[in-house]
Amino acid sequence: MIEVKGLTKSFGATKAVDDLTFTVQPGIVTGFLGPNGAGKSTTMRMILGLDRPTSGEALVEGVPYRQLKQPLHTVGALLDAKWVHPNRSARAHLQWMAASNGIPKSRVEEVLRLVGLTEVAGKKAGGFSLGMSQRLGLAAALLGDPKVLLFDEPVNGLDPEGIHWIRRFMQSLAAEGRTVLVSSHLLSEMSLTAQRLVVIGRGKLIADTTVDDFVQRSSEASVRVRGPELAGLRSAFEAAGLSVRDDAGEIPALLVAGSTTDAIGEIAAGKGLVLHELASQRGSLEEAFMKITGEDVQYHAAGLDDVMGGAL
């Protein structure tokens, strides 16, 4: 378990993390989300004892990280895949880490095999692609068979097969009862990976809830309706006080907000209108995230009209 209690980190007059409190439970993957500059990496660094909080505390399995005598046995982390000495081989790097925490050399070979690096274990890490470096960082995080795992952008540089693999791997680690906290900007992937979310903006907690609840609270559900008499369907739904708009898809359809498939089906049946499709639509995690964190984005990009001088 990870416990963050009133955690604050100031750099001069700037608060990178501001009175942050949340708990990461074992047994599920928890996504750690926020716009750039929200304080995610700083928070992870404080959890791992790399940065000292201005106030508050972060506990791993009930104690501050600095009090762990052999920390790799309790917590594993992947924050920066390229921090490895470039002239050290993958195997030598892991053996050095293992020796520092009393981990047998046999475990090095196990984690190399687990992340698919056995064939390149003797090569210098400086020549690794970003994807290979990510796998090496994952191997280092798993080295002590820890109960707690923190990953910062773990899918960077991975191809689709690698992304799919690491998603299932993180879920399997959580299923074993481990605590898994993962930060990522790939929201579509996070929606498939995480069961719970901690969302921050400008260092403050915005949400601490399940993925489903976050999406449902932050985006409007709708029902997609398709049939041969769309004009009649629109009139019937609007007469019932429902909000109706055209679906932007290739096949003409309607999106009806604030209702259910049952209710819409009954309205259509009452008017004798034929339906070819009636399906619930829920917003995406990306839509919900943009809506919730829009005011907390530190750096706003210019609109296309501003950039192109109105040429588009």
Q: What's the CA gap between 7 and 5, in Å, rounded?
A: 5
Domain at 2-74+146-216: CATH code: 3.40.50.300
pTM of the model: 0.78
The CATH-assigned architecture of domain 220-281 is: 2-Layer Sandwich (3.30)
pLDDT, tens digit, for every residue of 14-46? 999 999 999 999 999 999 999 888 999 999 999
* 252 membership: H or E segment, kind and range: none
Q: What's the CA gap between 119 and 241, in Å, rounded?
A: 64
Q: Where do the structural domains in the chain lie, given as residue ranges?
A: 2-74+146-216, 220-281
Torsion, CA 38, CA 43, CA 45, CA 46, rounded to 10? 150
pLDDT, tens digit, for every residue of 184-217? 888 888 888 999 999 999 999 999 999 888 887 7
> Which residue carries 């773990």 as its tokens?
154
CB 199 within 8 A of CB 207: yes
Statement: residue 297 has pLDDT above 90: no
Rg (C-alpha) for the chain, rounded Å, is 24
pLDDT recorded at residue 6: 97
Of 29-43, 81-95, 212-226, 239-253, least confident by mean pLDDT is 212-226
Beta-carbon neighbour count of residue 179 at 10 Å?
Answer: 24
Closest Cα partner for 215 from 66, 61, 31?
A: 31
Beta-carbon neighbour count of residue 312 at 10 Å?
Answer: 8
CB 187 within 8 A of CB 155: no
